[in-house]
Structure 1
Amino acid sequence: MNNATSDAAVAAPLETVEIETGPQPAWTVLWLHGLGDSGEGWAPVVPELVRKDWPALRFVFPHAPVRAVTINNGARMRAWYDIRDFQDLANRADEAGVEESVAQVEALIAREAGRGVPAARVILAGFSQGGAIALAAGLRRREPLAGLIALSTYLPMADRLVREAAPAASAQPLFMAHGSYDPVVPFQGGEMAAARLRTLGFNIDWHTYPMAHQACAEEIDAVAAWLSQRFAAA
């Protein structure tokens, strides 16, 4: 049984790109891409991110399902959920799509347990839409993950997720970062998400960078330093 409270049916298993940094990985980093991207889009981060003193890791980069996206005139692309309203963050996410994607992510976490990596050694990361799903899944976790990484994102279904958050969810360390010039997910959206999560007791390592809707080298270095702390604390 997965640890999400959602009753959404699990759709077909997600296809993934996987990279292992050593034999018999003891940890898994599950990384969710943004709208219109794919698992391949973030796979190149591995050599930039990994440090020599880290344990063997399995990076899992799933591909989001292909679905119609309302704000793109119904064009079909990889998306974790439909985006119905670009301007209104509170109503941007299609709740059914969020629920489905959370269930699919939970299935991947359960698969890692079957491969010898328990939830306590799984890091769930995501960028933009992927970060929104990482936060949604993290708030539902009754068995905490080793940590959450949410980059250039916001909290979808915020009122509902805060209301339904699992009591143990705030035990998960959380890294958040956002570009101060982000035109896609406004910087204020990231700040608001962090503020809501702090009310639940989350300890957030927050970073701001002078960039748009993207990642930068300084951000990746900060993520690496934060991950080093997680591995050292285990």
Structure 2
Amino acid sequence: MPNRILPAIEIETGAQPTHSVIWLHGLGADGHDFEPIVGELDTARLPPTRFLFPHAPIRTVTINGGYAMRAWYDIISSDFSQRREDPRGVRESAQQLENLIARENERGVSDANIVLAGFSQGGAVALHTGLRHRRRLAGILALSTYLPLAETLAAEADPVNRDLPIFMAHGEADTVIPHAFARRSAELLQASGYPLEWHNYPVDHTVSADEIRDLDAWLRRVLAPAG
């Protein structure tokens, strides 16, 4: 149901958080997948921050033989030369992410203090949602992923997030989402004027220690800017 609040793991780095990071997991995982990353970040150098790790709904996934698993959207093809993502599922998950943002607003966190983050499918939904969000966010953290429904972005993107900081990272040996495919998404966003940072790492479809170090520094820049 797109209008319900998804269950999520929450970790607060201080009392009365003023900032939030909403982090979406990849296909077949759940919110626990990236829960340990909070302990690997230098949270002492961040303002009081609430990390949310929601669980995706369970749905059937076409490329996995119709098996039901946690997924942000159906993947209808393994062919990267054609559409892979189910548009309806992407938009439903985007609305669920918007619901989580709205709840953070109700808890006193402004949009400008919220980062949308995600890995693989989760990163795709973070990109899709953040670029269309109608109020200025703090940034988007997109790992081992790509831009879904890219052909609709020009018409649907909100100008308020045109200068939104974006951190995209990808493994050069990724066998799930090819590096070149993800790189094309980054180049499209850069050509559209978004201030996107692109990072390569010599890994497969995973997150490396160097990547965590770099995203940690980026998070400090967007959540606790100097001055």
CA RMSD of aligned residues (A): 1.3
- Given that 2:176 and 2:205 are in contact with CA atoms closer than 8 Å, whether structure 1 keeps it comes out as yes
Between the aligned partners of 1:89 and 1:48, the Cα distance in structure 2 is 37
Aligned to 1:64: 56
1:104 matches 2:96:
yes
TM-score by length of 1: 0.93
Q: Which region of structure 1 is more displaced relative to structure 2, 213-222 or 190-199?
A: 190-199
How far is 1:138 from its partner? 1.2
Identity %: 50
Aligned to 2:119: 127
Residue 90 of structure 1 deviates from its aligned partner by: 4.3
CA contact (8 A) 2:4 2:99 kept: no
Equivalence for 1:153: 145
1:141 corresponds to = 133
Once superposed, which parts of structure 1, at least 4 consecutive aligned residues long, lie more than 3 Å away? none
**Structure 1 residues 104 and 200: alpha-carbon distance in aligned structure 2, compared to 1, 3 A threshold:** same
Q: Among residues 20, 27, 37, which one is paired with 2:29 in the alignment?
A: 37
What do the CA deviations read for 1:34-81 (whole angstroms, capped 9, x no partner)? 000000111000000133222111000000000000000000000000
1:121 to 1:47, Cα distance in 2 relative to 1, 3 A: same
Secondary structure in structure 2 of the residue aligned to 1:91: coil
Q: Which amino acid aligns with 1:36?
A: G
State the Cα distance separating 1:117 from its structure 2 match: 0.3
- 2:204 and 2:146 map into 1 onto residues whose CA distance is 15
Q: Confirm or deny: 8 A CA contact 1:28 1:122 kept in the other structure.
A: yes
**Cα deviation 1:55-113 (Å, max 9, x = unaligned):** 11100000000000000000000000000001226411000000000000000000000
Q: Does 1:54 align with 2:33?
A: no
Cα distance change, pair 13–90 in 1 and its aligned pair in 2 (3 A):
farther
- 1:89 and 1:12, CA in 2 relative to 1: closer, same or farther beyond 3 A? farther
- Structure 2: unaligned runs, 5 residues or longer: none
Matched, 1:205 2:176: no
Q: Tell me the equivalent position of 2:87.
A: 95
Q: Deviation string for 1:163-212 (max 9, x for gaps)?
A: 32112222210001000010111101211111111122110111100000
Aligned length: 226
TM-score under structure 2 length normalisation = 0.96
SS of corresponding position for 1:183:
coil
Write the letter of the residue equivalent to 2:110: P
1:215 to 201, 207, 213: 207
2:222 corresponds in structure 1 to 230
SS at match of 1:188: helix
CA distance in 1, matches of 2:211, 2:154: 27
More displaced 10-residue stretch of structure 1: 211-220 or 188-197: 188-197
Q: 1:19 aligns with which of 7, 11, 21?
A: 11
Q: Is the CA contact (8 Å cut-off) linking 2:140 and 2:164 kept in structure 1? A: yes
CA contact (8 A) 1:10 1:104 kept: yes
Of the structure 1 ranges 215-224 and 139-148, higher mean CA displacement relative to structure 2 is found in 139-148
